Structure 1
Amino acid sequence: MVRNVLFIMADQLRWDYLGCAGHPRLRTPNIDALAARGVRFTQAFVQGPVCGASRMSTYTGRYVSSHGSMWNFVPLSVGQKTLGAHLRPHGVRCAVVGKTHVEADLEGARRLALNTAKGEGLLAMEGGFEPFERDDGIWPPGFKVEGNRYCDYLRARGHGGDNPWHEHANSALGDDGELLSGWEMRWAGRPARVPAQDSETPYMTRRAMDFIAEQGERPWVLHLSYIKPHWPYVAPAPYHAMYGADDVLPAQRSEAEREDEHPVVQGFRQTEPSRSFSREEVRSTVIPTYMGLITQIDDELGRLFDFLRERGLDRETLIVFTSDHGDYLGDHWLGEKELFHDTIVKVPLIVVDPRAEADATRGTVCDELVESIDLVPTFLDALGLPGAPEWLEGRSLQPLLHGQAEAAPREAVFSENSYAFRDEVRLPSGQPVDACQMTMVRTRRWKYIDYQGLPPQLFDLAQDPGELEDLGRSEAHAGVRAEMAARLFAWLRARKRFPTIRHEDIEQWNRREVKAGIQIGHW
């Protein structure tokens, strides 16, 4: 029986930066053990290659074109139905500890006269999650942080100042006691000013335990959302020095990629993160700390999993571990995220189903194409709650967890973004803001990326798994591009267009008119 769901998300964690995913240097024994208890999906993809868009798709079970929150800080419409709204009518508490990146639709709330300070109005502004410990982090230098519980905790522990998040948890000290800002990657090898137990990852893990401990018999879904290993790349001791330059894998890139570049990719290569991560000095300094932050998450998850076992909750809790997107770290001469290489849009996904029906798949690897929008229908399925096919565009993973063959395996996955928010990209392209849409369709063999008004990109993943040769303008592949464009158009036609009415009600509509005596066109 599944009574609860523990939904864990790391921020900006690459799919290939786990021991169980084959990284030869990174130590993640607790996540590896989690995979040994469940199913590890090797072909899981997010629906947006930035935090906000990806998370809004994961929380709604809908593609970006359907929910409309295209990029970071784009409000999630109050008209969208999220995970919490599906759960609460059935008595399931749905809360968050950590980051969501949900931007409140304040204009929509004003229009509807919602009280956003409490009740349903507050939940709508929080993306449907009860904010048990909501904290998106990322407080810039010089910003005065007030009313933030983590910063208040740091002050209580003696780490004072207007912005202890920056000045202590995400900065180091120089040899003469000067502050070395974590926003400057050159200091990534220095330890954070706080001891490990006061850094963000352990703090949020303890808060997750606090939430779980107070639930009693009430079923719950907890979204434990770590902000790391997302930048600033700062780790506390001993994690800052666990790995060194010798542990850094070579960048996946080629000189040929920079010849005759696609204009959008060329624009992203001009951004500061890309120029920095194109230098080996930067990679050898930053990546060891990135790896240390991942091992810290793994250590904290070990404590959390022990906590669940001690209380017998592991036998009735579905556990999911995933990420919202990856990190280029210099691959393809790029930094950060936002484009559609597998480095970014493919993410780790491990699911542990405690029921006996899942025993046959424990410790297995699933290579089926799956998407992050599949998680909401999976949670509803596991909890025995009714689905909402009029809203949800994902599909439950439960058949795969229970070793059942899918009736119609997914043939392609999709992801969307806009470069309208990046002047270095949009201005040289000459495109207006509303024509900067980028859409990826990826099958097992081909990856096709459509750009409005610009040439597409195409990669043959069978011959070129590293995505180093763009075939978007190859005459020999015109037929493949046409086929992939048709697949994209068919996907756009299939979006959920009637989310506020159940399919059963649509099927009964005409019969209800007749029964009510409505006679349209009667002679």
Structure 2
Amino acid sequence: MAEIRNILFIMADQLRWDYLSAYGHPGMPTPHLDRLAANGVRFNRAYAQSAICGPSRMSFYTGRYVTSHGSTWNQVPLNIGEWTLGDYLRPLGLRVALAGKTHMPADLEGMGRLGLDPESADGVLASQCGFEPYIRDDGLHPSQSVSPDLAYNRYLAVQGYDGDNPWHDWANSAEGEEGEILSGWYLRNAQFPARIRAEHSETPWMTDQALSFIREQGEAPWCLHLSYIKPHWPYMAPEPYFSMFGAEDVCPVNRAEEERSQAHPVMRAFMNHAEGRNFSKPGVREKVIPAYMALIKQLDDEIGRLMAELEEMGRLDDTLIVFTADHGDYLGDHWLGEKELFHDCSVRLPLIISGPGLAKGGVEDRLVEAIDLVPTFIDALGGEVPSHRLEGRSLLPLLKGNAPRQWRDVVISELDYSHRGARLELGRGVNDCRGWMLFDGRWKYVAFQGFEPQLFDLENDPDELEDLGRQSDHQERSRAFQARLFTWLTEGRNIRATLSDEAVEQRTDSWLKKGVVFGEW
């Protein structure tokens, strides 16, 4: 794959897989992403390793399951010893940089133990998940703690937006009839347009940062992680995008009364969170989802601008382009808001990949996981994939139309909800809040510590409305999945990550050759 010299790794935050026209949404036109799919391969069954920002991204960046890398929820630092994308690609000659969000807090305790200065060159890479932070902006800045020195706030100040926190006051708030600020932190204000001009909002600003980086590289090879922070809440969209969608464009909600009246205990606890209660109220979805759709439309337009610039620069001829999301958004489906749990609207991902030498217009139905991207990047650049450390599989054979004889028969996702109010409602300890999903393409098995499992038949119930876990005629299937989960936990992960399989082969039964004698008569 010598044609591929660069990698553009695009991620949207909290973008549902089914809110793109390429994936069949009836009222959400995304022509630029459709075009990207027509020029590449669209993966129909891609899944996150966890349906929440931090652990999902750490799996994307490490190529390892959540149980393996240990960053189980937001603000849980990734261990200093974990390898990330930059560690694999820099030795292949690429500059590996970030424009946008990673949601990674640094392992300052681990860095301190090693005497690694966070301000040093190596310390910065360790603090930024292995990326060179061309622009780091995670968004989500509460007004009381935001720094005016943040890059986007500095940009807004130059554009004439006043206040200590223009990110909140302009980009993520509306304006009331008497000039008062209507904060985007409250769902009720999604029904009003953001105060900011569209060209100064977060998504085009982040596109500008990406284009600046790419132009600076000239002919030098690079990998850029362009990580947009929308359409994640606050659901505040600027004009003219705000007015493009209304309540009539909102798809019917996907939920059944039995889901609530006979709810699994963990589901019920999540339904009782504020986002679950409010998205279940009449009229809320009709006010919030049009803004969500507007943010996606703006994102699609920015992808179009980005692709046009890349084509003009000649970068489409030597760049692997990946578009995905870190997770989805319930938006009221299943009586829930936010994400985290294991329904497809939360854990299933959009994934589109294009590049020179790859299939065009392909649609791939095999089960793929977020952890597959790191080995794919290494493989596409001609590097050697360290299979003893990485737990994903290279997608390059699928991208080139060479179907392997054997592929995975199950995808796995995980959750640690110990930080959430659901834990307190359920009376669980901080180490008793683990959940797992196994999905084999038809049957989805969900297990939570201390509770009976769930089971869904997506062939006959694609909307995941009927939990079969309690039915006696499905107990044997649930037990088989439980055994599969145990096998994966005990055998299916790469625990020996510091020594290659080849080194183990060479060392096997070699002690006598080294003069070490034991057990001999």
Give the TM bin, normalised by the shorter chain. Answer: over 0.9
Deviation, structure 1 residue 516: 2.4
User: Which residue of 2 is the match for residue 509 of structure 1?
Assistant: 507
**Cα-Cα RMSD:** 1.1
1:302-317 mapped onto 2 (5 Å cutoff): 302-317=304-319
1:329-368 mapped onto 2 (5 Å cutoff): 329-355=331-357, 358=358, 361-368=359-366
User: Which residue of 2 is the match for residue 100 of structure 1?
Assistant: 102
Counterpart check, 1:432 vs 2:396: no
Q: TM-score, normalised by structure 1?
A: 0.97
Deviation, structure 1 residue 138: 0.6
Counterpart check, 1:382 vs 2:380: yes
Counterpart of 1:472, as a letter, is G
Contact 2:4 2:381 in 1 (8 A): yes
User: Which residue of 1 is the match for residue 210 of structure 2?
Assistant: 208
User: Which residue of 1 is the match for residue 252 of structure 2?
Assistant: 250
1:90–1:511 CA distance, 2 compared to 1 (3 A): farther
Describe the superposition over 1:346-384 as per-residue Cα deviations: whole angstroms up to 9, x where unpaired. Answer: 0100000212xx2xx311211100001000000001111
Structure 1 residues not aligned, in runs of 5+: none
Instruction: Give the secondary structure class of the aligned counterpart of 2:33.
Output: helix
Stretch deviating more after TM superposition (34-43 or 402-411): 402-411
Counterpart check, 1:463 vs 2:465: no
1:144-293 mapped onto 2 (5 Å cutoff): 144-293=146-295
Deviation, structure 1 residue 428: 2.7
Contact 2:379 2:394 in 1 (8 A): yes
Q: Matches of 2:82 and 2:479 in 1, distance apart?
A: 33
Counterpart of 2:113, as a letter, is R
User: Which residue of 2 is the match for residue 421 of structure 1?
Assistant: 419
Q: Matches of 1:159 and 1:222 in 2, distance apart?
A: 29
Q: 2:447 aligns with which of 447, 450, 453?
A: 450
Describe the superposition over 1:25-62 as per-residue Cα deviations: whole angstroms up to 9, x where unpaired. Answer: 11111000000000000000000010001000000000
Counterpart of 1:41, as a letter, is F
Deviation, structure 1 residue 520: 2.6
Contact 2:456 2:468 in 1 (8 A): yes
Structure 2 residues not aligned, in runs of 5+: none
Deviation, structure 1 residue 511: 5.9
User: Which residue of 2 is the match for residue 297 of structure 1?
Assistant: 299
Contact 1:353 1:401 in 2 (8 A): no
User: Which residue of 1 is the match for residue 117 of structure 2?
Assistant: 115
User: Which residue of 2 is the match for residue 497 of structure 1?
Assistant: 495
Contact 2:444 2:457 in 1 (8 A): yes
Contact 1:132 1:211 in 2 (8 A): yes
Deviation, structure 1 residue 406: 1.5
User: Which residue of 1 is the match for residue 58 of structure 2?
Assistant: 56
Deviation, structure 1 residue 512: 5.0
Q: 1:474 aligns with which of 471, 474, 479?
A: 471
Counterpart of 2:366, as a letter, is E
Describe the superposition over 1:63-83 as per-residue Cα deviations: whole angstroms up to 9, x where unpaired. Answer: 000000000000000010001
Deviation, structure 1 residue 510: 3.2
Instruction: Give the secondary structure class of the aligned counterpart of 1:13.
Output: coil
Deviation, structure 1 residue 271: 0.5
Instruction: Give the secondary structure class of the aligned counterpart of 2:311.
Output: helix
Q: Matches of 2:206 and 2:512 in 1, distance apart?
A: 57
User: Which residue of 2 is the match for residue 9 of structure 1?
Assistant: 11
Q: Matches of 1:203 and 1:5 in 2, distance apart?
A: 20
Counterpart of 1:417, as a letter, is L
Describe the superposition over 1:243-287 as per-residue Cα deviations: whole angstroms up to 9, x where unpaired. Answer: 010000001101111122111100000011011111231100110
Contact 1:35 1:351 in 2 (8 A): yes
Instruction: Give the secondary structure class of the aligned counterpart of 1:24.
Output: coil
Counterpart of 2:409, as a letter, is E
Stretch deviating more after TM superposition (84-93 or 341-350): 84-93
Counterpart of 2:380, as a letter, is A
Describe the superposition over 1:433-455 as per-residue Cα deviations: whole angstroms up to 9, x where unpaired. Answer: 10110011111111111111111
Q: Matches of 2:441 and 2:417 in 1, distance apart?
A: 26
Q: TM-score, normalised by structure 2?
A: 0.98
Q: Matches of 2:56 and 2:205 in 1, distance apart?
A: 25
Instruction: Give the secondary structure class of the aligned counterpart of 1:435.
Output: coil
Stretch deviating more after TM superposition (58-67 or 214-223): 214-223
Identity of aligned residues (%): 55
Instruction: Give the secondary structure class of the aligned counterpart of 1:186.
Output: helix
Describe the superposition over 1:110-161 as per-residue Cα deviations: whole angstroms up to 9, x where unpaired. Answer: 1111111021121011110110001101111333423211100001111121
Contact 2:316 2:355 in 1 (8 A): no
Contact 1:143 1:162 in 2 (8 A): no
Deviation, structure 1 residue 174: 0.9
Contact 2:468 2:474 in 1 (8 A): yes
Instruction: Give the secondary structure class of the aligned counterpart of 2:45.
Output: strand
Q: Matches of 2:467 and 2:294 in 1, distance apart?
A: 34
Contact 1:143 1:163 in 2 (8 A): no
Q: Matches of 1:185 and 1:310 in 2, distance apart?
A: 40
Q: Matches of 2:33 and 2:214 in 1, distance apart?
A: 20
Contact 1:183 1:232 in 2 (8 A): yes
Stretch deviating more after TM superposition (135-144 or 23-32): 135-144
Contact 1:57 1:63 in 2 (8 A): yes
